[in-house]
Every structure is written in C-alpha cells, then in structure tokens.
C-alpha cells in the first residue's frame, strides 16, 4: 500500500495547466525524486503536497488520509526550502525548536529532541550560532534538522542542493542520503539535476510540461527510457531519426540497422544510444564509420564527436592511459544492438 | 591615455588615493553649511546678553544654568520629548503593519499605495499644517460636522493642544517609518513565512514570531528618524500649538525673534541638539544589543 499517493492531480493557473493529471505513489521510508526541467510543474506539485497551493482537481493521500482539505500548518510535513528559509533572528537551536514549540512540547523534551536532531546533522557544536554566521552547507543542515525534528510523516526537499558549489553538493548528496536513512523518513525531492536524482533516490519520477514521463528506479530510467525526452534529459544520449518498416526492419539514413528484438508499430521512430556504449574500432570493421570532428578531454574520459552517415554521434571513451584518435581521423563505430533503444519519435508521444 | 598605456612606464607613480578627493565637494558643503553655523551657535550660547548693551562676547555658562535651572524650560523640553515620543510610537504602531501589507500587495496597487503614503511629503509643510488647522479648529470641519450631527454641543478643543501637534506630525512622519520598515521586510526571505506555517504556526504567530522580529531593525531605524525630526520640528508646532503650546524649536525662535536674547536661544538650541543626540545614541546602543547579534 502506497504511503503517499497522488491521484490525477491537476493544477491550472488561468489558461495554463501547470500539472496535468499527475499520478504516482511513494512507498513508506523510500526516497523518491521528482525530476524535470524548470517550468515542468514539479515545484507546483510540491507546493500542492505542502499545502501552499490549492489543488484544481485530483487527490493527495498521505498514509490513508486525504490532505486536500487540511491546511498547511496541520499537515505536519517537514519541508526544506531552496533558500533554506531559516529564521535569521533566532539561533540554530531556536530555529530547530520552533516546530516543537508550536506543538507545545515541554521544555526538557524539546531540548532533548533538538539535541538529537543537531547530532543527526553533525551540528551540535553550533547550536548557539546565528544562521548569518554560517556557511551554505551548514545552513542546509540546520534546515534539515528543523524539518526532521518534528518527526514528519513526509520530508519534502525543494532543490535543496542548488545553492551549493559543485564539491559541497556532492558531499551533501551523501550526507542527505545518510540522514534520510538514519531518520527513516519518507522523502520526496524536487530537482532539475538528473545526476542528483539518480544518486539519491530509490525511484525517479520524470516530469515534463506538467505530465508524467516515466516513473521507475534510477537505473531503469537511465537505461530504458520510455520517451525521447527522458532519454535526452538524463545524461548524454545520441538521438537518431529512423523508420520502422512494415517488414520489421529498422532503417536509418537508408541503412538497415539491427535493433533489439522488441517490436514497435511501423512508422517514424527515434533511436537512442548512450555514448558510453559505443566502441571505437578500425574504420573498416565498424557498423558505421566517420570522421572525428571534435575531441574533448574530460579527465576520466574522452568525448569524441564523429560525423557519420547516420548523423553526428558523440562517443565517450574511458581514459585508459593512452591517446585516442585525433581530429580528422576516420574511425569505425560499433555497438551491441541490444543497447539501442527504439522510442516513439518526438511529437508522436 | 591610450598612448601612455602602450609605453612601458619607467617610473611608476604611487597611486594617489582618490576617495578623499572625491569626497571633498560634499565635505566642503558639509563644513560650510552645517558645521559652521553649529559652531557659531555654540560660541553664541556662551555669550552674555543685556537689554541695553546687546550681545556681549564673554564666556560664561550663565545661559545654560538659566535654562537648566528654570521649571518653565523643563516644561517645554518635557513637552517636546513627549510629543516626539508619542509621534514615534504611533508611527511605529501604524507604520509597521502598513508596510507589511504594502510588501504583500501586487506591484500595481503597491505603487499607488506608496504614492499615497509619500503624499504628505509632496506638500509644503505650511500648507499641510494650515490644512490641519482648518480641520481641527473650534469652527473647523471636524467640530462643525460633529456639532451638526448633534454628537457634541460644544466644540472639542483640538487646536493649540499637544494632541493636535502629534496628529499632524504623525501624518508627515509616517512615510519615513513605512519606508524604513518596508526596506527591512524586502530583505526578508518570503519562504520563512511558509516555513513557519509548515512547522505549525498560525497566521498571528507567523506575524509575531517571524515577520515582526525581522522587521524590527527597520522599525528601530525608522524610529530614530521620526524621533529626531519630531523633536526638532518647527512649523507644525508653531502653527498648531501657537503661543500656548510651546516646544523647544518655537521657544528658540521666540528668543531670537521676539526677546532678541540670541545667546539664550542658542543655549536652548544646543541643549536640544545634545538631548536628541544622546537619545539617539542610547537608542541605537539598545538596538545593537537586542538585534545586533543576529544581524552582525
């Protein structure tokens, strides 16, 4: 039985439909990411779950109760805002204690729980500091402690890492996951960062233009995208226009390609192929050959752009300690046909 | 410039600090227009005065002992500070919530409301105060209206009272308070209100525990401006208080223009400046202690 369940949730602002019949569910104790580009309706969805936006139609069920008629302050959810929204006139301990005070929890108990929450986020030594005197990562932890101390049924995270620099962000990703596991709290993360969503979550819900694109675990979303949008949004992908013939053959730029067994309706399709699944071989022995037009060194890998008869393709090669083919060289490209993903052509979905 | 920059500089001149130079015009204006009259007033306040011989360039504290030793002056100083204090308090009580609503309005209505709030500043102080005199007089608009309805039989005394002065001062001082508080509210992250709500706070608690404390620096700096301007206001008390309700500024004016005892007037002016300064410094000390730690 799903713990949080969104049932055909819809939000309209005038003529604009921000969230369109969105349904998905979150299991108790799991970490789910709501992923999509800005303007896809993910933040509106979060706002509706939190109770800051009214629902146009549809239902939000949490642990068997319908949240629709419950005001935000009675929902008892823990929310971490993008800007952290710390109370700057209160110390860290006072910030964390605020939710407990509102629940009229007596002082000794309050102090005990504040202490435990600050220990969880490793901030016990800064309890008497003011937020202004803290770094971005520390403020983030205060916001987490303040949200978790009320022992919420559901923790909502609104782009919590977007204000941190790259290195700190990676660190906080691990921290976030540890804290979530230790607290055992059901968590919904809203993010536009696909690597963050994949690194943190048990399941990923991909949204675009207010609609659900795919809901699956991170590996499946990455490896078996259902739509060309998902394939392009998560990581790098080569996207080739092709035609599925009535004879079941896949034609791309007047060549017949061997694809995976799974059949699709005849018509225009799109082939998605991850750049790291492509091998570079001799010009003669590849499935296609082409000329290297661009070469970028990324440290742990090389990125090559190869002009082939099928179209421009990008290839990622692991840095194996030797130099790869240079610009102007003709190379052959090959891949395991099982790695091709045949998707409905964009616009037909 | 471009020619010089292509040459290799043989001798690098030490950079001349430009900041003091750039400040010079403003500094000169400040010295000439503000500091000079202030110092001249200070010197004047130590001089003596005689009805037959006029101002004598002596040095004595006689004027100060006269002011500080006379109950008559105590009353005037007391009234001045009471009026300034009341004006400040009323401005804060009205201005803080007004700024809160202003901050939450949609931009179109907000710009109209800001214009209305700033309205009193756009009118000459004399015109505005005479307007209040028309409203507050014994045969003024308010009294005539109330008598015609039959609510009162005899006119309420509003002209030539401290209350009337406070009313008119609040009218003109409120923009300073609203703008100061509004600036503080704009610095506030709007998500803090949502955060407090999600933690279980009702609308009143959110205002009292979250919005108001964050607006406090604005209320306090607004209070400083309003207090200083009200304590030294001249035109409003002169017109609405007349000869009966004197404040320090109007008394100084009387000493200078009627009694012609300039040194005594100067001494009163200096005491007023000192009293306002001390109040303001004490106030900001208090402010720094209370809210300074969080905003340091």
ipTM surpassing 0.90, yes or no?
A: no
Residue B137 confidence (pLDDT): 87
Report the alpha-carbon distance of residue B226 to residue B222 in Å, rounded: 6
CATH 3.40.50.300 for the A4-223 domain, yes or no: yes
Calpha distance B211→B181 (Å, rounded)? 11
* B6: pLDDT strictly greater than 70: no
Alpha-carbon gap, residue B18 to B21, rounded angstroms: 5
| Over residues A149-155, mean pLDDT | 94
Query: pLDDT value at position B158?
Result: 86
E strand or H helix at B174, and its extent?
helix B162-186
Out of B198, B209, B216, whose CB is closest to A50? Answer: B198
Q: Are A98 and B197 inside 8 Å of each other by CB?
A: no
Residue-wise pLDDT tens digits, B239-274: 998 888 999 999 999 999 988 899 999 999 999 999
Determine, for residues B209 and A76 on separate chains, whether the beta-carbon distance falls below 8 Å: no
Alpha-carbon gap: B250 to the closest alpha carbon of chain A (Å):
42
Q: A85–B199: do the CB atoms touch at under 8 Å?
A: no
Q: Do A73 and B201 touch (CB under 8 A)?
A: yes
Q: Where are the domains of chain A?
A: 4-223, 236-344
Closest-CA distance of chain B to residue A24, Å: 23
Q: Residue B92: CB partners within 8 Å, gap ≥ 6?
A: B177, B219, B222, B223, B226
Q: What is the structure's pLDDT at A311?
A: 87
Q: What is the pLDDT of residue A50?
A: 95
Give the residue from chain B lying closest to A72, CA to CA: B198
Min Cα–Cα distance to chain A from B174, Å: 26
Q: Please write the tens of the pLDDT for every residue from A244-292.
A: 877 777 888 778 888 776 666 778 888 899 999 998 988 888 889 899 9
Residue B88 CA, chain-centre distance (Å), reads 8
User: Within 10 A of B211 (CB to CB), how many other CB atoms are there?
Assistant: 21
Residue A45 has pLDDT above 90, yes or no: yes
Nearest residue of A to residue B198, measured between CA atoms: A73
The shortest C-alpha distance from B217 to chain A (Å) reads 11
Neighbours of B142 (CB within 10 A): 15
Q: Residue B194 pLDDT > 50, yes or no?
A: yes
Question: Where would I find the H helices in B46-124?
Answer: 62-68, 71-104, 107-118
DSSP state of B255: I
Tell me what pLDDT residue A266 has.
77
d(CA A340, nearest CA chain B) in Å:
45
> What residue in A sits closest to B203 (Cα-Cα)?
A73
B293 touches chain A (CB under 8 A): yes
pLDDT at B8 over 60: no
Domain architecture of chain B: domains with CATH: 59-295 (1.10.3720.10)
Q: CA A199, CA A222: separation in Å to the nearest integer?
A: 12
Taking an 8 Å cut-off on Cβ atoms, the answer to whether A102 and B205 are in contact is yes
Q: DSSP for B109-132?
A: HHHHHHHHHHGGGGS-HHHHHHHH
pLDDT in tens, A65-107: 999 889 999 999 999 999 999 999 899 999 999 999 999 999 9
Which tokens go with A17? 């439909």
Give me the sign of the Cα torsion angle B122, B123, B126, B128: negative
Touching check for B187 and chain A: CB below 8 Å? no
Smallest CA–CA separation between B216 and chain A, in Å? 10
3-state secondary structure of B201: coil
A123 close to A141: Cβ distance less than 8 angstroms:
yes
- The third-level CATH classification (topology) of the domain covering A236-344 is OB fold (Dihydrolipoamide Acetyltransferase, E2P) (2.40.50)
Instruction: Collect all residues of chain A within an 8 Å Cβ-Cβ radius of residue B199.
Output: 73, 98-99, 102, 146, 150
Rounded CA separation B246/B250 (Å): 6
Q: Which of B189, B202, B294 sits opposite A83 (nearest CB)?
A: B189
Instruction: Nearest chain B residue to A52 by CA: give it.
Output: B194
By the CB < 8 Å criterion, does A75 face chain B? yes
Calpha distance A107→A105 (Å, rounded): 7
A-interface mutation test, from B194, B199, B296, most A Cβ less than 10 A away: B199
Higher pLDDT, B16 or A12: A12
B230 is written with which tokens? Answer: 């009200």
pLDDT value at position A44? Answer: 94
Question: What backbone torsions phi and psi does residue B96 show, to the nearest 5 degrees?
Answer: -65, -50
Give A344's pLDDT tier (boundaries 50, 70, 90): confident
Chain B residue whose CA is closest to A158: B191
The whole-angstrom distance between residue A151's C-alpha and the CA centroid of its chain comes to 25
8 A C-beta contact, residue B92 and residue B180: no
Buried b (16+ CB within 10 A) or exposed e, B163-193: ebbbbbbbbbbbbbbbbbbbbbbeebbebbb
């Amino acid at each position: 039985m799903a713990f949080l369940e969104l049932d055909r949730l819809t939000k309209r602002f005038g003529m604009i439909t921000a969230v369109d019949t969105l349904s998905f569910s979150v299991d108790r104790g799991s970490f789910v990411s709501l992923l999509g580009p800005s303007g896809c309706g993910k933040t509106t969805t979060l706002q509706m779950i939190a109770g800051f936006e009214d629902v146009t139609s549809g239902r939000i069920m949490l642990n068997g109760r319908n949240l629709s008629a419950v005001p935000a302050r009675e929902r008892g959810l823990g929310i971490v805002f993008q800007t952290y929204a710390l109370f700057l006139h209160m110390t860290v301990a006072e910030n964390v204690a605020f939710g407990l005070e509102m629940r009229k929890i007596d002082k000794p108990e309050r102090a005990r729980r504040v202490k435990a929450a600050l220990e969880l986020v490793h901030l016990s030594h800064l309890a008497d500091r003011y937020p202004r005197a803290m770094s971005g990562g520390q403020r983030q932890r205060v916001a987490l402690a303040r949200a978790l101390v009320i022992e919420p049924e559901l923790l909502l995270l609104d782009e919590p890492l977007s204000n941190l620099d790259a290195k700190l962000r990676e660190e906080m990703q691990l921290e976030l996951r540890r804290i979530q596991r230790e607290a055992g709290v059901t968590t919904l993360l809203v993010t536009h960062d696909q690597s963050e969503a994949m690194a943190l979550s048990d399941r990923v819900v991909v949204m675009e233009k207010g609609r659900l694109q795919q809901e699956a675990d991170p590996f499946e979303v990455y490896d078996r995208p259902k739509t060309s949008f998902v394939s392009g949004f998560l990581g790098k992908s080569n996207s080739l226009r092709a035609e599925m013939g009535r004879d079941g053959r896949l034609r791309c730029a007047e060549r017949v390609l061997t694809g995976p067994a799974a059949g699709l309706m005849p018509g225009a399709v799109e082939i998605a192929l991850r750049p790291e699944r492509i091998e570079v071989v001799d010009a003669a022995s590849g499935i296609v050959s082409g000329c290297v037009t661009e070469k970028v060194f990324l440290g742990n890998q090389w990125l090559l752009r190869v002009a082939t008869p099928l179209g421009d393709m990008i290839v990622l090669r692991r840095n194996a300690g030797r130099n790869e083919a240079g610009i102007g060289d003709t190379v052959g490209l090959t891949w395991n046909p099982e790695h091709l993903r045949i998707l409905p052509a964009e616009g037909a979905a | 410039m471009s020619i010089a920059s292509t040459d290799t500089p043989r001798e690098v001149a030490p950079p001349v600090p430009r900041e003091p130079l750039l400040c010079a015009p403003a500094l000169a204006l400040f010295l000439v227009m503000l500091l000079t009259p202030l110092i001249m007033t200070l010197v004047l306040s130590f001089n003596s005065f005689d009805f037959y011989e006029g101002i004598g360039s002596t040095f004595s504290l006689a004027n100060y002992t006269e002011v500080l030793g006379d109950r008559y002056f105590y009353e005037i100083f007391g009234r001045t500070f009471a009026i300034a204090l009341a004006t400040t308090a009323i401005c804060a009580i009205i201005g803080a919530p007004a700024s809160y609503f202003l901050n939450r309005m949609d931009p179109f209505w907000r710009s109209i409301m800001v214009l209305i709030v700033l309205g009193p500043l756009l009118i000459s102080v004399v015109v505005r105060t005479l307007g209040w005199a028309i409203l507050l007089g014994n045969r003024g608009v308010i009294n005539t209206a109330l008598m015609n309805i039959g609510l009162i039989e005899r006119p309420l005394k509003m002209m030539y009272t401290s209350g009337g002065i406070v009313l008119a001062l609040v009218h003109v001082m409120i923009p300073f308070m609203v703008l100061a508080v509004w600036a503080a509210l704009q610095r506030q992250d709007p998500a803090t209100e949502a955060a407090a709500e999600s933690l279980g706070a009702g609308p009143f608690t959110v205002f009292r525990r979250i919005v108001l404390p964050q607006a406090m620096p604005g209320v306090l700096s607004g209070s400083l401006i309003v207090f200083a301007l009200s304590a030294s206001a001249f035109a409003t008390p002169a017109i609405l208080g007349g000869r009966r309700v004197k404040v320090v500024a109007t008394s100084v004016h009387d000493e200078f223009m009627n009694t012609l005892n300039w040194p005594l007037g100067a001494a009163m002016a200096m005491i007023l400046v000192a009293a306002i300064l001390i109040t303001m410094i004490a106030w900001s000390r208090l402010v720094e202690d209370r809210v300074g730690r969080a905003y340091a």
